[in-house]
């Protein structure tokens, strides 16, 4: 009928208009890599819409797990108020299982350290309003060589994890027999999906085979680096290695430069502030690696900065990146929702220095007038024009959210 028909010229006009709108959006957002993220094929488990937040045992308690420890960490996550800020996963790392599977081929928790079993442990963590994560390996043994790997046991182990109530899997890469990581990690991804339980899937392939280029269809995060250590040199190098892959991150799947060392004692307060700021800006997972039961006030103030956490958890999900480098003076920046921009002025020199970010460095119009919110002093500088400028201590940073008028 006539009123159901559309003319060819009108149809062509609509197609061209829609195409132009799409190109314009890509042009506007491509500077910080969102366009790359839009093209990703994503794992369809509904998880990881923002980077994961929680705690992992390995940095502070390598192979020193116990039922009592996990209970106390879960209790502390709630009592300190960290859980209310978004830290929700309590993740066990390596060394939780017996070396041998049972007669049916199932993984067995170490009775000496988890006498109540994993299901009871998961129930305890869940009773606190938190989620529980576990560790496995895409090879024949885990990295500690004290546990069986999950290679060729993917379905069985995934079903075991689901039956226990596990919410998160960190999947390591040791003793892998030289087999393709894409195949090994994909097999576990399928097995987890087949359980019917939503389980966040964290690939720990150490960035060896450029997982940023293929892992978004398999997992919710992927390591882009080797293991972090509690040193300035290790932290800064992980930041740089991760930065290369900024355009591949986005809602549903995130680049992972490894867990946080904040509070473990190997760096200064300002170095830890830089660590936390860059991880937040880069949309890295915020997985605490210290003993939150006994952290000092400085550590708590760093990890509980709500304004910095909000940058990490921003709904736009665009990974901030290094946009200017003058020697060891750096500007890192990325877009946020509501046309705002996050900025970190990072002094990696050994003495105090002044760092300048021009509007052109930040993707802002040259005539823009902005208010700059300092996220660490919780103060606002109003009506700034042309550039953002600050004097920054050695190994320290300043972090801002800019809101154009």
Q: What is the mean pLDDT of residues 374-402?
A: 98
Q: What is the mean pLDDT of residues 313-336?
A: 98
User: Using CA atoms, how far apart are residues 384 and 369, in angstroms rounded to an integer?
Assistant: 6
Least confident range of 24-38, 187-201, 226-240: 24-38
Is 80 exceeded by the pLDDT of residue 371? yes
pLDDT score, position 292? 98
Is 70 exceeded by the pLDDT of residue 26? no
Question: In this predicted model, what pLDDT tens digit does every residue of 261-288 receive, in sequence order?
Answer: 999 999 999 999 999 999 999 999 999 9
Q: What is the mean pLDDT of residues 149-164?
A: 98
pLDDT band at 40 (very low <50, low <70, confident <90, very high): confident
Q: Is 227 a catalytic residue?
A: yes
pLDDT band at 39 (very low <50, low <70, confident <90, very high): low
Question: Which helix (H) or strand (E) segment is 190 a member of?
Answer: helix 181-195
Is 60 exceeded by the pLDDT of residue 20? no
Better pLDDT: 403 or 1: 403
Classify each residue of 112-150 as buried b or exposed e, where b means 16 or more C-beta atoms within 10 Å of its C-beta: ebbeeebeebbebbeebebbbbbbbbbbbbbbeeebbbb
Q: What is the mean pLDDT of residues 208-215?
A: 98
Residue 137 and residue 149 in contact, taking contact as beta carbons nearer than 8 Å = yes
Least confident range of 13-17, 214-218, 223-227: 13-17
pLDDT score, position 286? 99
Residue tagged active-site, from 227, 358, 361, 371: 227
Is 90 exceeded by the pLDDT of residue 397? yes
Is 60 exceeded by the pLDDT of residue 10? no
Q: Is 172 a catalytic residue?
A: yes
pLDDT band at 31 (very low <50, low <70, confident <90, very high): very low
Residue 119 and residue 108 in contact, taking contact as beta carbons nearer than 8 Å = no
Residue tagged active-site, from 94, 137, 157, 172: 172
Is 70 exceeded by the pLDDT of residue 37? no
Residues pairing with 256 in the sheet: 223
pLDDT score, position 121? 98
Question: In this predicted model, what pLDDT tens digit does every residue of 59-114 receive, in sequence order?
Answer: 999 999 999 999 999 999 999 999 999 999 999 999 999 999 999 999 999 999 99
Q: What is the mean pLDDT of residues 315-340?
A: 98
Better pLDDT: 32 or 358: 358
Question: In this predicted model, what pLDDT tens digit does every residue of 178-210 receive, in sequence order?
Answer: 999 999 999 999 999 999 999 999 999 999 999
pLDDT score, position 38? 46
Write down the pTM of the prediction: 0.91
Q: What is the mean pLDDT of residues 227-254?
A: 98
DSSP state for residue 146 in the 8-state scheme: S
User: Using CA atoms, how far apart are residues 29 and 27, in angstroms rounded to an integer?
Assistant: 6
pLDDT band at 28 (very low <50, low <70, confident <90, very high): very low
Q: How much of the chain, in percent, has pLDDT values that exceed 70?
A: 90
Average pLDDT score, the chain: 92
Is 70 exceeded by the pLDDT of residue 14? no
Query: Closest by alpha carbon to 209, among 219, 220, 199, 223?
Result: 223
Residue 130 and residue 124 in contact, taking contact as beta carbons nearer than 8 Å = no
Q: How much of the chain, in percent, has pLDDT values that exceed 90?
A: 90
pLDDT score, position 360? 98
Residues recorded for the chain: 405
């Amino acid at each position: 009928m006539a009123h159901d028909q559309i003319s060819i010229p009108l149809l062509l006009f609509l197609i061209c208009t829609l195409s132009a709108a799409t190109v314009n959006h890509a042009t506007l957002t491509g500077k910080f890599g969102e366009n790359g993220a839009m093209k990703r094929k994503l794992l369809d488990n509904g998880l990881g819409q923002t980077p994961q937040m929680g705690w992992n045992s390995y940095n502070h308690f390598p192979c020193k797990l116990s039922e009592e420890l996990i209970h106390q960490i879960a209790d502390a996550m709630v009592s300190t108020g960290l859980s209310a800020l978004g830290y929700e996963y309590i993740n066990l790392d390596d060394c939780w299982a017996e070396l041998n599977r049972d007669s049916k081929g199932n993984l067995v928790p170490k009775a000496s350290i988890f006498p109540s079993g994993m299901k009871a442990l998961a129930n305890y963590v869940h009773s606190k309003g938190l989620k529980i994560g576990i560790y496995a390996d895409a090879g024949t043994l885990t990295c500690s060589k004290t546990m069986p790997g999950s290679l060729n046991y993917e379905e069985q182990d995934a079903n075991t994890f689901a039956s226990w109530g596990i919410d998160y899997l960190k999947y390591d890469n040791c003793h892998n027999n030289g087999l393709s990581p894409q195949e090994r990690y994909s097999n576990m991804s399928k097995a987890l999906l087949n359980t019917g339980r939503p389980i966040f899937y964290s690939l720990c392939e150490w960035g060896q085979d450029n997982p940023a280029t293929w892992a978004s269809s398999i997992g919710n995060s992927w390591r882009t680096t080797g293991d972090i250590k509690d040193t300035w040199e290790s932290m800064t190098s992980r930041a740089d290695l991760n930065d290369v892959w900024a355009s591949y991150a986005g809602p549903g799947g995130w680049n992972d430069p490894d867990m946080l060392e904040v509070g473990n004692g190997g760096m200064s307060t300002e170095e830890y502030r830089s660590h936390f700021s860059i991880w937040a800006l880069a949309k890295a997972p915020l997985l605490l690696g210290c003993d939150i039961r006994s952290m000092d006030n400085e550590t708590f103030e760093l990890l509980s900065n709500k304004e910095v956490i909000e940058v990490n958890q921003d709904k736009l999900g665009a990974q901030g990146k290094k946009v200017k480098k003058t020697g060891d003076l750096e500007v890192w920046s990325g877009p946020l929702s509501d046309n705002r921009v996050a900025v970190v002025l990072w002094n990696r020199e050994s003495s105090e220095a002044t760092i300048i970010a021009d509007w052109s460095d930040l993707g802002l119009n040259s005539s823009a007038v902005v208010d700059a919110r300092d996220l660490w002093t919780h103060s606002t500088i109003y009506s700034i024009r042309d550039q953002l400028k600050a004097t920054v201590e050695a190994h320290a940073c300043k972090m801002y959210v800019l809101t154009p008028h």
